Amino acid sequence: MQHIRAHVLVCGGTGCKSAGSKEVQLEFAKQLEQKGLSDEVMIVETGCHGFCEHGPLVIIYPEGTFYCRVKPEDVEEIVESHLFKGRIVERLLYHEPLTHEQIPSYSEINFYKKQKRLVLEHCGAINPEQIEEYIAVGGYEALAKAITTMTPQEVIDEVKKSGLRGRGGGGFPTGMKWQFAANSVNDKKYVICNADEGDPGAFMDRSVLEGDPHKVLEGMAICGYAIGADEAYIYVRAEYPLAIKRLRIAIEQAEQMGLLGENIFGTKFSFKIHIKEGAGAFVCGEETALMASIEGRRGMPRPRPPFPAVSGLWGKPTNINNVETFANVAAIITNGADWYCGFGTEKSKGTKVFALTGKINNTGLAEVPMGITMREIIFDIGGGITGGKKFKAVQIGGPSGGCLPESMLDLSVDYDSLISVGAMMGSGGLVVMDEDTCMVDVAKFFLNFTQSESCGKCTPCREGTKRMLEILTRITEGQGREGDIELLEELAGNIKETALCGLGQTAPNPVLSTLKYFRDEYEAHIKEKRCPAGVCEKLSNYFITDKCKGCGLCARQCPVQAISGQPRSQHVIDAAKCIKCGSCMATCPFKAIVKG
């Protein structure tokens, strides 16, 4: 019998793959073969570990040694020193930036310490393309328990009792949603998993599907049993080829083992799952537009009621949840609702997965208990702001969310707290901004995104967001007028009240939140024709400070001869001639040129 004495886990998520993890994996296979260790050491390609900033990641068990930023040329040393001689390769260990301490085990790294990984429990720990590994960690036990020992109503009651709320944005109680679908009487019902993750900077669903696809399939099957559905669709973005590949493998393997398909576990319950690839339309994240797309029609929202639980896909009762919601279900059924209620707050149970992006040291994926503060996420888990800059704002909830200032850092991250300050949980995108960010420009960026992604069906969203974007563009170009702020607020209110779907109704949120917390920046742009952050080119000027040594390099680099001055004396920039190309600031060896 083959004796495996060590496992080499190589991150195979999209982030690490793009950084060369596949080449690292192939080099491990080559080196182990050359050293005669192939029969003793097993290479496991896993899903995302979450610590994307430091990939490609390699963890070696049984020690749990965590190596980061591993390159193919590092592999020979790891095999020779660690796997052959038992000596850790210290130069590849993670270093905490503040203490410069070498951390050999991932569980001791600050990034992981405050996390509570329920959804991501097996991501980075098992091979997502091997169903046996999922079964080895308890996979499909919840499905077996549900359909062989519980009635459909008992399953729904357990999900209700758990307090699980939808992780796709609105936070609607999952058990109640299932109850509505179960109560609808029809000969055919459907389950849909919404994996159309379109928020800028969001990759939570992608990582779950890539790292633990069976957990999502199991949650969908339990839902199907609970509401009386025998067919399901996963609507996933075509831009996620690795997630789609692993979903196809997972569905095929589950069907071969009788865990999906006909008469599961020898019962009368049958459940078939299909994959529908979306074409990248942001509006298809809205459930009625999503169903239209599955049906082969243009993805456009329709008025509700009727709600999908009554008349959904092809007019049949349909339950729709997102990836993360379904990924919570199996653990709730296995461990019980009381166990799940042990995490989170009174009204926001469990955990939430966030994609940390922007001006933050530890970009990546983090799962935290509800009720944690924004400060803990950004500074303890995220490692603070890049370059030692000052924190300015965090955008939470994607284009439908809001920008929160420094004064909100100690806010509890839960559904109700975020809504109370003009933001929302959303699907989990979290974009961090530093002192060099212009909040008017940020509002323009998100509104430009939602305006271009508007399906155009309803006038408030189609025309209202266009008018708002025109005003924001004028403001950032130095043509802002008195009354623009009030007009933005009026348009935003009208859109929120009259747009057809949730995406249109929340489109003004980034503008409203920046107006609420950063109104002074809007006023500086409009009244002073000045961008405080120096981002808006048409409102920015370049200045030479007293750090100037008079070397003349900037004057020689200027393409329009806008800089003058005597040798060894402070030079000046003629603002009327300056075309704001930035070449002077980029070439100044004394950092004497600033933008403001």
Q: Where are the alpha helices (DSSP H) in 14-71?
A: 14-18, 21-34
For position 425, what pLDDT does the model report?
A: 86
Which pLDDT score is estimated for 429? 86
Instruction: Enter the DSSP assignment of 592.
Output: -
Q: Give me 77's structure tokens.
A: 């040393």
Q: What is the dihedral of CA 180, 185, 186, 191, to 10 degrees?
A: 20
Helix orientation angle between 241-256 and 213-227, rounded to the nearest 10 degrees: 60
Averages of pLDDT over runs of 10 residues in the chain (596 residues) are 84 94 96 92 95 94 94 96 94 85 88 94 96 97 98 98 91 96 97 91 92 98 98 95 97 97 96 95 91 94 93 97 97 98 95 95 95 95 93 90 93 92 85 95 93 89 94 95 96 93 89 95 93 86 90 93 93 88 90 85
Does residue 405 have a cis peptide bond before it, meaning omega lies within 30 degrees of 0?
no
Q: What is the distance between the alpha carbons of residues 157 and 333, in angstroms, rounded to a whole number?
A: 10
Task: Please give the model's pTM, rounded to 2 decimal places.
Answer: 0.91
Give the pLDDT of residue 424: 85
Using DSSP's 3-state secondary structure scheme, residue 407 falls into helix
From residue 268, alpha-carbon distances to 225, 342, 447 in Å are 10, 34, 50
- Quote the CA–CA distance of 520 and 45 in Å, as a whole number: 50
Query: Under 8 Å CB-to-CB from 557, ≥6 apart: which residues?
Result: 583, 584, 587
Strand order in the sheet with 364-369: 364-369, 351-358, 429-434, 391-396, 402-405
What pLDDT does residue 201 have? 79
Amino acid symbol at 89: V
What is d(CA 84, CA 35) in angstroms, rounded to the nearest whole number?
8
d(C-alpha 564, C-alpha 361), whole Å: 40
User: What pLDDT is stored for residue 166 in this prediction?
Assistant: 93
Give pairs for 304-310: CB < 8 Å, separation 24+. 307/180, 308/181, 309/177, 309/180, 309/181, 309/183, 309/184, 310/180, 310/184
517 CB-contact burial (10 Å; exposed 0-12 / middle 13-18 / buried 19+): buried
In angstroms, rounded to a whole number, what is the distance separating the alpha carbons of residues 262 and 215?
19
